Chains A and B, each alone.
Chain A
Amino acid sequence: MPEVRLSYDIDGDDFSSAGEASVAMKKALRQMGIEPETIRRCSVCMYEGEMNAVIHAGGGRAEVLVSPERIKITIEDDGPGIADVEAAMREGYSTAPPRVRELGFGAGMGLPNMKRCSDELDIETAAGRGTKITMIVRL
């Protein structure tokens, strides 16, 4: 059973670099012949994950596992963790600092968009120990 693993560092210092892992992943998925709409869903998942890691955790790591049945995207950081996961899943709920919101980000759509674009979403988080978000998009 072939399986392809893609790994990316999410640079927390550079706000504008969020989205780079998404661009690289899209290129790889295109080459592997994944359907355009599936690629689009994966790119939303990855982009939102990258943004969260940059805004809340000063960066992190992303991993993509592609198998013939599904694409599994994992985004992990060592940030403060999500205090209230249930609230974070609500549209418009945001804990982004004012400096981020002033830039037009942190609208509280990150996790809802990730949920909308994935078939399964799992959040492991602990205060002060970081967050690991796993998303599965079935092929």
Chain B
Amino acid sequence: MPDRQIFHSVKLDRDKCRGCTTCIKHCPTEAIRVRRGRAQIISERCIDCGICIRVCPHKAKKAECDPPERLGDYKHKVALPAPSLYAQFRNLDGADRVLAGLLRIGFDAVWEVSRGAELISEATRRALAEGSRPRPAISSACPAVVRLICIRFPALIPNVIDLIAPFEAAAIAARREAAEKTGLRPEEIGVFFITPCPAKVTAARNPLLLDRPVADGCLSMTEVYKRLLPVLKDIKDPPPLARSGAEGIGWARSGGETSALAPDRKLYVDGIENVISVLESVEDGSLSEVDFIELNACNQGCIGGCLTVENPYIARENLAGLLRGRKGSAAPAKPEPFAPASLRGAKKLEYEPIYEIVGDRAEAMEKYARIEELRKELPGLDCGSCGAPSCRALAEDIVLGKASEDDCIFRFREKMGGGAMANPDEFLPPPFRREEKE
């Protein structure tokens, strides 16, 4: 079994958590339980998709990033802005203004992640032409999706194109370029990714396809936005810093990665529930006529990441404005001398069998049968009062020794002599009463 991840960007703020059941109901991997009045994240199940951050009514879930003060640890600081950053600003006249702004808020250089994206687009075109992979080929760009495939759709691991992420390609190139231009040692150069989501923070710390991290830290897009906003309007005639074309910047939204590919049969899907449903179809063999699938865990793609500021639909329009009249790919016209020699992953994705009940199959089957029995005995209300997302999940937790049958308030009530009560309805809240009170 591969090493399970220890670090997760998605964290709980214990002081803010009220122990409500909103997050457990929305988590797509059933990774949260409520215990002793607080949510608890089951580390190996969490894919850092950020759904719980979005739905928490008490803002008790957060995405941990690096503090901007970390920039001070390095002699030369390079910003790697995700293209979704540009989409946060209305009426932006070009990426140059944002890049110039980054140089005013503490960075010495910029290296656009969209340039990295163009390198990955080119590598994807080559990988698809090779045709050695089972169809449909699946993009590895969204780390939440890749983790989801590793825990829930392992049969589709061979379909995933094993290319590193655009921000990783950008980080490697940025450090090499900075080292050459400044004469500094690579470790004196700080390369910071400005991220739209927690999944990328986790992936930067524990790379999915690389042996070791290539960025020195991740800054929250919200945090950087706050610092940029006051300086942007003061920039007169920003210098031409932007090098990438519409192809790379387009990666910020769902469909961007796909539009950089030849007009084969391709599909782009966003939103974690849609992603799951399409992956089920791929597994069932009902999408075998499709050549390529782009999957983004967030609605509208990276512009919908939970560390962005702007509503994703408005961000999409902002981005469209920015791309209007912009040339397609800059990559072939401007070769990247500092690009990594290989964009292929250094390690393989592995199945993480976290949903397996126990390693021994006969025992797992026996336990599964017991789960089914228990599930039928439970009320099926999925009320969440036991701290599990559904009666079924409680049945699993009970059989695995992580919960007790008494955790179900309805079962417990019965056990405490519910049958002897003159009118059991008296003791139930309105949704569960059989008759309306007078």
The answer to whether A and B interact is: yes
Q: Which residues of A contact B359 (CB under 8 A)?
A: 33
**A87 CB–B CB distance under 8 Å:** no
Q: Which residues of A contact B152 (CB under 8 A)?
A: 30
Q: How many A-B contacts are there with CB distance less than 8 Å?
A: 73
> Which B-chain residue is minimally distant from A38 (CB atoms)?
B155
**B180 CB–A CB distance under 8 Å:** no
Q: A4-B369, A22-B280, A37-B155 are in contact. Are A32 and B364 (CB under 8 A)?
A: yes
Chain A stretch 101-139: residues in CB contact (< 8 A) with chain B: 113, 117
Mask of A25-59 contacts with B, CB within 8 angstroms, 1/0: 01110111110110110011011100000000000
Q: Which residues of B contact A37 (CB under 8 A)?
A: 155
Asked whether A40 lies within 8 Å of B357 as measured between CB atoms, the reply is no
How far is the CB of B8 from the nearest CB of chain A, in Å? 22
Asked whether A2 lies within 8 Å of B365 as measured between CB atoms, the reply is yes
**B345 CB–A CB distance under 8 Å:** no
Asked whether A66 lies within 8 Å of B356 as measured between CB atoms, the reply is no
Mask of A12-28 contacts with B, CB within 8 angstroms, 1/0: 00000001001100111
Q: Which of B155, B281, B366 contacts A39 (CB 8 A)?
A: B155
> Which A-chain residue is minimally distant from B152 (CB atoms)?
A30
How many Å lie between the Cα of A2 and that of B353 in the bound state? Answer: 21
Asked whether A43 lies within 8 Å of B283 as measured between CB atoms, the reply is yes
> Which B-chain residue is minimally distant from A6 (CB atoms)?
B372
How many Å lie between the Cα of A48 and that of B155 in the bound state? Answer: 18
**B268 CB–A CB distance under 8 Å:** no
Give the dominant DSSP class at A's interface: helix
Q: A31-B356, A33-B353 are in contact. Are A26 and B368 (CB under 8 A)?
A: no
How many Å lie between the Cα of A34 and that of B280 in the bound state? Answer: 17
How many Å lie between the Cα of A55 and that of B34 in the bound state? Answer: 43
Asked whether B356 lies within 8 Å of A44 as measured between CB atoms, the reply is no
Asked whether A44 lies within 8 Å of B285 as measured between CB atoms, the reply is yes
How many Å lie between the Cα of A58 and that of B192 in the bound state? Answer: 57
Q: Which residues of B contact A6 (CB under 8 A)?
A: 372
Asked whether A33 lies within 8 Å of B358 as measured between CB atoms, the reply is yes
How far is the CB of A104 from the nearest CB of chain B, in Å? 9
Binding site for B on A (CB under 8 A): 2-4, 6, 19, 22-23, 26-28, 30-34, 36-37, 39-40, 43-44, 46-48, 66-68, 113, 117
Binding site for A on B (CB under 8 A): 152, 154-155, 157, 280-281, 283-286, 351, 353, 355-362, 364-366, 368-369, 371-372, 396
**Smallest CB-CB A-B distances: 3 pairs:** A47-B284, A40-B155, A36-B154
